[in-house]
Amino acid sequence: MLSRDEDILKAAEDWRKDGRGVALATVMETWGSAPRPVGSNLVIDAEGNFLGSVSGGCVEGAVVAEAMDVIEDGKPRMLEFGVADETAWKVGLSCGGTIRVYVEKVS
């Protein structure tokens, strides 16, 4: 079971106080089918540890990788991921969807 959003934000604060490089990813917008609602968070440290969820699967891995770059260079990023309805049907999903995720360094 995933932690509540408050736990995720508390972890970000605690990790930062411990001296870790930290980034926070937040679902900003969704269209169509999306596994996590707007406002969902994922906190990531510079070693790739994370807590929470913004999507799942390969999207989550891509967000973690981008977050590690954000920690290093300090530049926030808006990421967009999506799957077309036709592609979704072929892999067994009922419909496609798109999510937009904002990743920022916690300082």
Residue ranges of the domains in the chain? 5-106
Cβ neighbours of residue 19 closer than 8 Å, sequence gap 6 or more: none
| pTM, entire model | 0.85
Q: What is the pLDDT of residues 80-93, one digit of tens each?
A: 988 665 554 454 44
Q: What is the pLDDT of residues 5-24, one digit of tens each?
A: 678 989 999 999 999 999 99
Q: Taking the CB of residue 99, how many other CB atoms lie within 10 A of it?
A: 25
Asked if residues 41 and 60 have their Cβ atoms less than 8 Å apart, the reply is: no
